[in-house]
Structure 1
Protein backbone atom coordinates (compact mmCIF):
# COMPACT_ATOMS: atom_id res chain seq x y z
CA UNK A 1 0.00 0.00 0.00
CA UNK A 2 1.28 3.48 -0.85
CA UNK A 3 2.02 5.60 2.21
CA UNK A 4 0.30 8.86 2.97
CA UNK A 5 2.98 11.12 1.46
CA UNK A 6 1.70 10.32 -2.03
CA UNK A 7 1.33 13.44 -4.17
CA UNK A 8 0.25 13.90 -7.79
CA UNK A 9 2.58 11.97 -10.03
CA UNK A 10 3.00 14.80 -12.48
CA UNK A 11 2.47 18.48 -13.08
CA UNK A 12 0.45 19.71 -16.05
CA UNK A 13 2.24 22.05 -18.40
CA UNK A 14 1.44 23.39 -21.82
CA UNK A 15 5.03 23.86 -22.94
CA UNK A 16 7.35 20.92 -23.66
CA UNK A 17 10.37 20.43 -21.46
CA UNK A 18 13.90 19.89 -22.66
CA UNK A 19 14.90 16.30 -23.50
CA UNK A 20 16.42 14.40 -20.64
CA UNK A 21 13.81 15.43 -18.10
CA UNK A 22 14.73 19.10 -17.69
CA UNK A 23 11.98 20.00 -15.27
CA UNK A 24 11.96 22.43 -12.38
CA UNK A 25 11.43 20.94 -8.92
CA UNK A 26 10.39 24.20 -7.29
CA UNK A 27 8.35 27.31 -7.80
CA UNK A 28 5.00 25.60 -8.21
CA UNK A 29 3.35 28.25 -6.05
CA UNK A 30 4.72 31.00 -8.25
CA UNK A 31 3.64 29.11 -11.38
CA UNK A 32 0.13 28.79 -9.92
CA UNK A 33 -0.17 32.56 -9.32
CA UNK A 34 1.31 33.36 -12.73
CA UNK A 35 -1.10 31.02 -14.49
CA UNK A 36 -4.06 32.49 -12.59
CA UNK A 37 -3.04 36.01 -13.60
CA UNK A 38 -2.53 35.01 -17.25
CA UNK A 39 -5.83 33.13 -17.44
CA UNK A 40 -7.76 36.04 -15.89
CA UNK A 41 -6.16 38.51 -18.30
CA UNK A 42 -6.93 36.28 -21.26
CA UNK A 43 -10.60 35.97 -20.29
CA UNK A 44 -10.87 39.75 -19.90
CA UNK A 45 -9.20 40.58 -23.21
CA UNK A 46 -10.39 37.92 -25.62
CA UNK A 47 -12.58 39.07 -28.50
CA UNK A 48 -16.25 38.37 -27.62
CA UNK A 49 -16.95 37.92 -31.34
CA UNK A 50 -14.21 35.27 -31.57
CA UNK A 51 -14.05 33.52 -28.21
CA UNK A 52 -11.51 30.87 -27.33
CA UNK A 53 -12.27 27.40 -28.67
CA UNK A 54 -13.97 25.25 -26.03
CA UNK A 55 -11.29 22.55 -26.36
CA UNK A 56 -8.46 25.05 -25.80
CA UNK A 57 -10.29 26.47 -22.80
CA UNK A 58 -10.80 22.99 -21.33
CA UNK A 59 -7.10 22.26 -21.75
CA UNK A 60 -6.19 25.47 -19.93
CA UNK A 61 -8.59 24.72 -17.08
CA UNK A 62 -7.14 21.21 -16.72
CA UNK A 63 -3.65 22.72 -16.69
CA UNK A 64 -4.77 25.19 -14.01
CA UNK A 65 -6.02 22.33 -11.83
CA UNK A 66 -2.78 20.38 -12.29
CA UNK A 67 -0.60 23.33 -11.29
CA UNK A 68 -2.77 23.95 -8.23
CA UNK A 69 -2.45 20.30 -7.15
CA UNK A 70 1.31 20.34 -7.58
CA UNK A 71 1.60 23.55 -5.57
CA UNK A 72 -0.31 21.96 -2.71
CA UNK A 73 1.68 18.74 -3.07
CA UNK A 74 5.00 20.56 -2.92
CA UNK A 75 3.90 22.42 0.20
CA UNK A 76 2.98 19.13 1.86
CA UNK A 77 6.30 17.54 0.87
CA UNK A 78 8.18 20.50 2.36
CA UNK A 79 6.32 19.92 5.60
CA UNK A 80 7.21 16.21 5.46
CA UNK A 81 10.87 16.99 4.75
CA UNK A 82 10.94 19.24 7.80
CA UNK A 83 9.69 16.35 9.91
CA UNK A 84 11.91 13.70 8.32
CA UNK A 85 15.24 14.23 10.01
CA UNK A 86 17.83 11.50 10.20
CA UNK A 87 15.49 9.26 12.16
CA UNK A 88 12.62 9.85 9.72
CA UNK A 89 14.13 8.91 6.38
CA UNK A 90 16.26 6.19 7.97
CA UNK A 91 12.95 4.42 8.55
CA UNK A 92 12.37 4.46 4.79
CA UNK A 93 15.20 2.00 4.16
CA UNK A 94 13.81 -1.22 2.69
CA UNK A 95 10.72 0.47 1.23
CA UNK A 96 10.03 1.20 -2.41
CA UNK A 97 10.14 4.92 -3.22
CA UNK A 98 8.51 6.65 -6.16
CA UNK A 99 10.73 9.28 -7.72
CA UNK A 100 11.30 11.05 -11.03
CA UNK A 101 15.08 10.83 -10.53
CA UNK A 102 16.90 8.24 -12.69
CA UNK A 103 16.56 4.70 -11.32
CA UNK A 104 18.37 1.46 -12.08
CA UNK A 105 17.01 -1.05 -14.57
CA UNK A 106 18.47 -4.53 -14.77
CA UNK A 107 16.64 -7.84 -15.15
CA UNK A 108 13.42 -6.83 -13.40
CA UNK A 109 10.63 -4.68 -14.81
CA UNK A 110 10.18 -1.22 -13.31
CA UNK A 111 6.83 0.00 -12.02
CA UNK A 112 5.97 3.44 -13.40
CA UNK A 113 3.21 5.85 -12.42
CA UNK A 114 1.81 7.64 -15.46
CA UNK A 115 -0.67 10.52 -15.53
CA UNK A 116 -1.32 11.76 -19.07
CA UNK A 117 -3.61 14.68 -19.86
CA UNK A 118 -7.27 13.66 -19.69
CA UNK A 119 -7.91 15.14 -23.16
CA UNK A 120 -5.04 13.27 -24.82
CA UNK A 121 -5.76 11.25 -27.94
CA UNK A 122 -2.27 9.74 -28.02
CA UNK A 123 0.07 9.12 -25.08
CA UNK A 124 3.74 8.29 -25.52
CA UNK A 125 6.18 7.09 -22.87
CA UNK A 126 9.68 8.43 -23.57
CA UNK A 127 12.76 6.82 -21.97
CA UNK A 128 16.06 8.59 -21.32
CA UNK A 129 19.41 7.09 -20.37
CA UNK A 130 21.81 8.34 -17.69
CA UNK A 131 23.15 10.99 -20.09
CA UNK A 132 19.68 12.37 -20.74
CA UNK A 133 19.51 10.98 -24.27
CA UNK A 134 16.24 9.59 -25.60
CA UNK A 135 16.63 5.84 -26.10
CA UNK A 136 13.06 4.58 -26.51
CA UNK A 137 9.55 5.81 -27.25
CA UNK A 138 6.33 3.84 -27.13
CA UNK A 139 2.58 4.41 -27.33
CA UNK A 140 0.91 3.49 -24.02
CA UNK A 141 -2.61 4.82 -24.56
CA UNK A 142 -4.72 7.06 -22.31
CA UNK A 143 -5.49 6.40 -18.67
CA UNK A 144 -3.74 7.04 -15.38
CA UNK A 145 -2.16 4.46 -13.11
CA UNK A 146 0.77 2.08 -12.81
CA UNK A 147 2.39 0.18 -15.65
CA UNK A 148 5.26 -2.32 -15.82
CA UNK A 149 8.14 -1.11 -17.97
CA UNK A 150 10.08 -4.03 -19.48
CA UNK A 151 12.89 -1.98 -21.00
CA UNK A 152 12.51 -3.06 -24.61
CA UNK A 153 13.18 -1.22 -27.88
CA UNK A 154 10.68 -1.19 -30.77
CA UNK A 155 12.52 -4.24 -32.14
CA UNK A 156 12.03 -6.08 -28.84
CA UNK A 157 15.69 -5.87 -27.80
CA UNK A 158 16.37 -5.37 -24.09
CA UNK A 159 17.98 -2.05 -23.23
CA UNK A 160 21.36 -2.26 -21.43
CA UNK A 161 21.41 -2.32 -17.65
CA UNK A 162 21.69 1.21 -16.35
CA UNK A 163 19.95 4.31 -15.01
CA UNK A 164 16.82 5.51 -16.77
CA UNK A 165 14.23 8.26 -16.36
CA UNK A 166 10.89 8.78 -18.07
CA UNK A 167 8.47 11.37 -19.39
CA UNK A 168 4.89 11.09 -20.63
CA UNK A 169 3.85 13.10 -23.69
CA UNK A 170 0.14 13.79 -24.25
CA UNK A 171 -0.88 14.55 -27.84
CA UNK A 172 -4.13 15.86 -29.30
CA UNK A 173 -4.83 16.85 -32.89
CA UNK A 174 -1.19 16.31 -33.82
CA UNK A 175 0.08 18.71 -31.13
CA UNK A 176 1.67 17.94 -27.78
CA UNK A 177 -0.53 19.46 -25.08
CA UNK A 178 1.40 18.23 -22.04
CA UNK A 179 4.75 16.72 -21.10
CA UNK A 180 5.24 15.38 -17.59
CA UNK A 181 7.74 13.28 -15.71
CA UNK A 182 6.75 9.72 -14.85
CA UNK A 183 7.60 8.45 -11.40
CA UNK A 184 9.39 5.10 -11.08
CA UNK A 185 9.60 2.88 -8.00
CA UNK A 186 13.00 1.82 -6.64
CA UNK A 187 14.10 0.03 -3.46
CA UNK A 188 15.77 2.26 -0.83
CA UNK A 189 18.97 0.69 0.53
CA UNK A 190 20.65 3.63 2.27
CA UNK A 191 19.92 7.07 3.71
CA UNK A 192 22.61 9.76 3.60
CA UNK A 193 22.67 13.18 5.25
CA UNK A 194 24.52 16.25 4.04
CA UNK A 195 24.33 19.98 3.40
CA UNK A 196 21.60 19.48 0.80
CA UNK A 197 19.46 17.49 3.22
CA UNK A 198 18.58 13.80 3.30
CA UNK A 199 19.46 11.71 0.24
CA UNK A 200 18.20 8.20 -0.47
CA UNK A 201 20.29 5.62 -2.31
CA UNK A 202 18.48 3.03 -4.44
CA UNK A 203 19.22 -0.60 -5.08
CA UNK A 204 21.47 -1.08 -8.12
CA UNK A 205 22.42 2.58 -8.28
CA UNK A 206 20.89 6.02 -8.43
CA UNK A 207 19.78 8.34 -5.65
CA UNK A 208 17.35 11.15 -4.92
CA UNK A 209 16.79 13.81 -2.30
CA UNK A 210 14.11 12.98 0.22
CA UNK A 211 12.10 15.91 -1.17
CA UNK A 212 12.12 14.21 -4.60
CA UNK A 213 10.31 11.13 -3.24
CA UNK A 214 6.58 11.45 -3.86
CA UNK A 215 5.36 8.12 -2.47
CA UNK A 216 6.45 5.13 -0.40
CA UNK A 217 5.15 1.59 -0.46
CA UNK A 218 6.02 -1.73 1.12
CA UNK A 219 8.15 -4.01 -1.08
CA UNK A 220 6.13 -6.14 -3.49
Structure 2
Protein backbone atom coordinates (compact mmCIF):
# COMPACT_ATOMS: atom_id res chain seq x y z
CA UNK A 1 0.00 0.00 0.00
CA UNK A 2 1.25 3.47 -0.87
CA UNK A 3 1.42 5.89 2.04
CA UNK A 4 1.65 9.68 2.07
CA UNK A 5 3.75 11.71 4.50
CA UNK A 6 1.20 13.93 6.24
CA UNK A 7 3.80 16.20 7.86
CA UNK A 8 5.58 16.84 4.57
CA UNK A 9 2.34 17.51 2.75
CA UNK A 10 1.21 19.89 5.48
CA UNK A 11 4.47 21.83 5.12
CA UNK A 12 4.00 21.93 1.36
CA UNK A 13 0.49 23.28 1.67
CA UNK A 14 1.68 25.93 4.13
CA UNK A 15 4.22 27.02 1.52
CA UNK A 16 1.45 27.19 -1.05
CA UNK A 17 -0.59 29.36 1.27
CA UNK A 18 2.25 31.86 1.54
CA UNK A 19 2.70 31.90 -2.22
CA UNK A 20 -1.02 32.39 -2.74
CA UNK A 21 -1.10 35.34 -0.39
CA UNK A 22 1.74 36.99 -2.33
CA UNK A 23 0.46 36.49 -5.86
CA UNK A 24 -3.03 36.94 -7.20
CA UNK A 25 -2.20 34.93 -10.30
CA UNK A 26 -0.96 32.05 -8.17
CA UNK A 27 -4.09 31.63 -6.08
CA UNK A 28 -6.00 29.53 -8.57
CA UNK A 29 -3.05 27.29 -9.49
CA UNK A 30 -1.95 26.77 -5.89
CA UNK A 31 -5.48 26.04 -4.76
CA UNK A 32 -5.88 23.40 -7.47
CA UNK A 33 -2.56 21.85 -6.49
CA UNK A 34 -3.64 21.79 -2.86
CA UNK A 35 -6.85 19.98 -3.79
CA UNK A 36 -4.90 17.44 -5.83
CA UNK A 37 -2.56 16.77 -2.90
CA UNK A 38 -5.49 16.36 -0.57
CA UNK A 39 -7.24 13.98 -2.99
CA UNK A 40 -4.12 11.83 -3.42
CA UNK A 41 -3.60 11.61 0.31
CA UNK A 42 -7.22 10.62 0.93
CA UNK A 43 -7.04 7.96 -1.78
CA UNK A 44 -3.85 6.47 -0.37
CA UNK A 45 -4.52 6.75 3.33
CA UNK A 46 -4.29 3.71 5.57
CA UNK A 47 -7.85 2.61 6.42
CA UNK A 48 -6.58 1.42 9.79
CA UNK A 49 -4.99 4.77 10.49
CA UNK A 50 -7.04 7.45 8.69
CA UNK A 51 -5.52 10.87 8.36
CA UNK A 52 -6.53 13.81 10.53
CA UNK A 53 -8.47 16.16 8.27
CA UNK A 54 -8.72 19.02 10.75
CA UNK A 55 -5.49 20.63 9.53
CA UNK A 56 -6.58 20.45 5.91
CA UNK A 57 -9.96 21.87 6.84
CA UNK A 58 -8.22 24.86 8.39
CA UNK A 59 -6.07 25.31 5.30
CA UNK A 60 -9.11 25.11 3.02
CA UNK A 61 -10.66 27.93 5.03
CA UNK A 62 -7.44 29.95 4.77
CA UNK A 63 -7.30 29.42 1.01
CA UNK A 64 -10.89 30.56 0.74
CA UNK A 65 -10.07 33.72 2.71
CA UNK A 66 -7.03 34.47 0.55
CA UNK A 67 -9.03 33.95 -2.63
CA UNK A 68 -11.81 36.19 -1.34
CA UNK A 69 -9.26 38.86 -0.41
CA UNK A 70 -7.78 38.76 -3.90
CA UNK A 71 -11.23 39.07 -5.42
CA UNK A 72 -11.95 42.08 -3.22
CA UNK A 73 -8.64 43.61 -4.31
CA UNK A 74 -9.69 43.17 -7.92
CA UNK A 75 -13.01 44.86 -7.23
CA UNK A 76 -11.22 47.71 -5.44
CA UNK A 77 -8.89 48.22 -8.40
CA UNK A 78 -11.90 48.29 -10.70
CA UNK A 79 -13.57 50.93 -8.53
CA UNK A 80 -10.38 53.01 -8.44
CA UNK A 81 -10.10 52.71 -12.21
CA UNK A 82 -13.66 53.94 -12.64
CA UNK A 83 -13.08 56.84 -10.23
CA UNK A 84 -9.88 57.72 -12.08
CA UNK A 85 -11.79 57.71 -15.35
CA UNK A 86 -14.41 60.06 -13.90
CA UNK A 87 -11.68 62.34 -12.53
CA UNK A 88 -10.04 62.45 -15.93
CA UNK A 89 -13.31 63.28 -17.66
CA UNK A 90 -13.89 66.13 -15.23
CA UNK A 91 -10.28 67.33 -15.41
CA UNK A 92 -10.42 67.52 -19.20
CA UNK A 93 -12.64 70.57 -18.74
CA UNK A 94 -9.58 72.37 -17.31
CA UNK A 95 -7.63 72.23 -20.58
CA UNK A 96 -6.89 75.76 -21.75
CA UNK A 97 -7.57 77.23 -18.32
CA UNK A 98 -5.14 78.56 -15.74
CA UNK A 99 -4.70 76.16 -12.84
CA UNK A 100 -3.07 76.77 -9.47
CA UNK A 101 -1.49 73.98 -7.44
CA UNK A 102 -0.51 73.60 -3.79
CA UNK A 103 3.18 73.10 -4.58
CA UNK A 104 6.26 75.22 -5.26
CA UNK A 105 6.73 73.38 -8.58
CA UNK A 106 5.78 74.88 -11.92
CA UNK A 107 6.49 73.90 -15.49
CA UNK A 108 8.58 75.57 -18.17
CA UNK A 109 7.54 74.71 -21.69
CA UNK A 110 9.20 75.21 -25.06
CA UNK A 111 7.93 78.78 -24.92
CA UNK A 112 6.44 81.05 -22.32
CA UNK A 113 7.31 81.33 -18.65
CA UNK A 114 7.08 79.28 -15.49
CA UNK A 115 4.88 81.05 -12.95
CA UNK A 116 4.04 80.99 -9.26
CA UNK A 117 1.75 82.95 -6.95
CA UNK A 118 3.23 84.40 -3.76
CA UNK A 119 1.32 84.95 -0.52
CA UNK A 120 3.39 86.49 2.32
CA UNK A 121 2.07 85.78 5.81
CA UNK A 122 2.48 89.50 6.56
CA UNK A 123 3.91 92.60 4.92
CA UNK A 124 7.43 92.00 3.67
CA UNK A 125 10.10 94.66 3.26
CA UNK A 126 12.32 92.64 0.94
CA UNK A 127 12.01 89.49 -1.11
CA UNK A 128 14.38 87.35 -3.18
CA UNK A 129 13.51 84.33 -5.27
CA UNK A 130 15.55 81.42 -6.58
CA UNK A 131 14.59 78.81 -9.16
CA UNK A 132 16.10 75.33 -9.14
CA UNK A 133 15.95 72.55 -11.72
CA UNK A 134 15.22 68.86 -11.16
CA UNK A 135 18.84 68.28 -10.11
CA UNK A 136 18.60 70.96 -7.42
CA UNK A 137 20.85 73.39 -9.31
CA UNK A 138 19.97 77.09 -8.97
CA UNK A 139 19.23 78.37 -12.47
CA UNK A 140 17.87 81.80 -11.57
CA UNK A 141 18.02 84.17 -8.63
CA UNK A 142 16.73 87.72 -8.32
CA UNK A 143 15.21 90.34 -6.05
CA UNK A 144 11.53 91.08 -6.58
CA UNK A 145 9.05 93.66 -5.37
CA UNK A 146 7.93 92.42 -1.91
CA UNK A 147 4.38 93.52 -2.66
CA UNK A 148 4.10 91.31 -5.74
CA UNK A 149 1.67 88.41 -5.63
CA UNK A 150 3.06 86.62 -8.65
CA UNK A 151 6.47 85.74 -10.06
CA UNK A 152 7.19 84.53 -13.58
CA UNK A 153 10.53 83.25 -14.84
CA UNK A 154 11.12 83.48 -18.57
CA UNK A 155 13.46 80.50 -18.56
CA UNK A 156 16.53 82.53 -19.50
CA UNK A 157 19.81 81.26 -18.05
CA UNK A 158 22.89 83.31 -17.12
CA UNK A 159 24.54 82.52 -20.46
CA UNK A 160 21.55 83.85 -22.36
CA UNK A 161 20.25 80.45 -23.46
CA UNK A 162 16.83 79.07 -22.58
CA UNK A 163 16.51 76.41 -19.91
CA UNK A 164 15.17 73.04 -21.06
CA UNK A 165 11.52 72.15 -20.64
CA UNK A 166 10.65 70.56 -17.34
CA UNK A 167 9.61 71.08 -13.74
CA UNK A 168 11.23 73.83 -11.70
CA UNK A 169 10.96 74.71 -8.02
CA UNK A 170 10.74 78.18 -6.53
CA UNK A 171 12.15 79.21 -3.16
CA UNK A 172 11.43 82.60 -1.60
CA UNK A 173 13.29 84.45 1.12
CA UNK A 174 11.38 87.39 2.57
CA UNK A 175 12.00 89.71 5.51
CA UNK A 176 9.99 92.45 7.16
CA UNK A 177 11.24 95.98 7.83
CA UNK A 178 12.86 94.82 11.06
CA UNK A 179 14.77 92.06 9.29
CA UNK A 180 12.65 89.21 10.64
CA UNK A 181 11.84 86.33 8.31
CA UNK A 182 8.41 86.30 6.68
CA UNK A 183 6.82 83.06 5.55
CA UNK A 184 5.59 83.07 1.96
CA UNK A 185 3.04 80.64 0.59
CA UNK A 186 3.88 79.46 -2.92
CA UNK A 187 1.60 77.93 -5.56
CA UNK A 188 2.64 76.72 -8.99
CA UNK A 189 0.55 78.22 -11.79
CA UNK A 190 0.13 77.47 -15.47
CA UNK A 191 -2.17 76.83 -18.41
CA UNK A 192 -3.38 73.24 -18.56
CA UNK A 193 -2.21 71.66 -21.82
CA UNK A 194 -3.41 68.10 -21.38
CA UNK A 195 -4.76 65.52 -18.93
CA UNK A 196 -3.24 62.06 -18.47
CA UNK A 197 -4.08 59.08 -16.24
CA UNK A 198 -2.16 55.89 -15.50
CA UNK A 199 -5.38 54.20 -14.43
CA UNK A 200 -5.07 55.35 -10.83
CA UNK A 201 -3.72 58.90 -10.75
CA UNK A 202 -4.66 61.86 -12.93
CA UNK A 203 -2.08 64.50 -13.82
CA UNK A 204 -2.36 67.82 -15.64
CA UNK A 205 0.29 69.06 -18.05
CA UNK A 206 1.58 72.55 -17.14
CA UNK A 207 4.40 73.64 -19.42
CA UNK A 208 7.00 70.89 -19.11
CA UNK A 209 5.72 69.58 -15.77
CA UNK A 210 3.04 67.13 -14.76
CA UNK A 211 0.95 68.22 -11.80
CA UNK A 212 -1.17 65.94 -9.64
CA UNK A 213 -4.90 66.58 -9.79
CA UNK A 214 -4.98 66.13 -6.00
CA UNK A 215 -2.80 69.26 -5.64
CA UNK A 216 -5.16 71.47 -7.65
CA UNK A 217 -6.50 74.35 -5.56
CA UNK A 218 -7.97 76.77 -8.11
CA UNK A 219 -8.95 77.05 -11.78
CA UNK A 220 -9.70 80.25 -13.66
CA UNK A 221 -10.07 81.51 -17.20
CA UNK A 222 -6.72 82.02 -18.91
CA UNK A 223 -5.55 85.64 -18.85
The TM-score with structure 1 as length reference comes to 0.50
| SS of equivalent residue, structure 1 residue 85 | helix
CA distance in 2, matches of 1:183, 1:126: 14
Identify the residue that residue 214 of structure 2 maps to in structure 1: 211
If asked which structure has higher relative contact order (CA below 8 Å, sep 6+), I would say: 1
CA distance in 2, matches of 1:201, 1:95: 11
Identify the residue that residue 27 of structure 2 maps to in structure 1: none
CA deviations over 1:136-184 (Å, ceiling 9, x no partner): 211112114234432345x573441222221222123445332543422
Conserved in 2, the CA contact under 8 Å of 1:102 and 1:130?
A: no
User: Among residues 115, 122, 133, which one is paired with 1:129 in the alignment?
Assistant: 133
Note closer, same or farther for the CA distance 1:180–1:134 as it changes in structure 2 (3 Å cut).
Answer: farther
Matched residue count: 136
Conserved in 1, the CA contact under 8 Å of 2:131 and 2:138?
A: yes
1:145 counterpart = 2:149: yes
Identify the residue that residue 170 of structure 2 maps to in structure 1: 166
1:119 counterpart = 2:123: yes
Structure 1: give runs of 5+ residues left out of the alignment: 1-80
- Of residues 206-215 and 165-174 in structure 1, the stretch that sits farther from structure 2 once superposed is 165-174
Identify the residue that residue 191 of structure 2 maps to in structure 1: 186
| SS of equivalent residue, structure 2 residue 94 | coil
- Of residues 121-130 and 107-116 in structure 1, the stretch that sits farther from structure 2 once superposed is 107-116
Note closer, same or farther for the CA distance 1:117–1:139 as it changes in structure 2 (3 Å cut).
Answer: farther
Q: Which structure has the larger Rg over C-alpha atoms?
A: 2
The TM-score with structure 2 as length reference comes to 0.50
Following superposition, which runs of at least 4 residues in structure 1 exceed 6 angstroms of deviation?
none
1:31-180 mapped onto 2 (5 Å cutoff): 85-99=87-101, 100=103, 101-153=105-157, 157-163=160-166, 164-172=168-176, 173-180=178-185
Q: Which has the higher helix share?
A: 2
Structure 2: give runs of 5+ residues left out of the alignment: 1-82
CA distance in 1, matches of 2:89, 2:111: 32
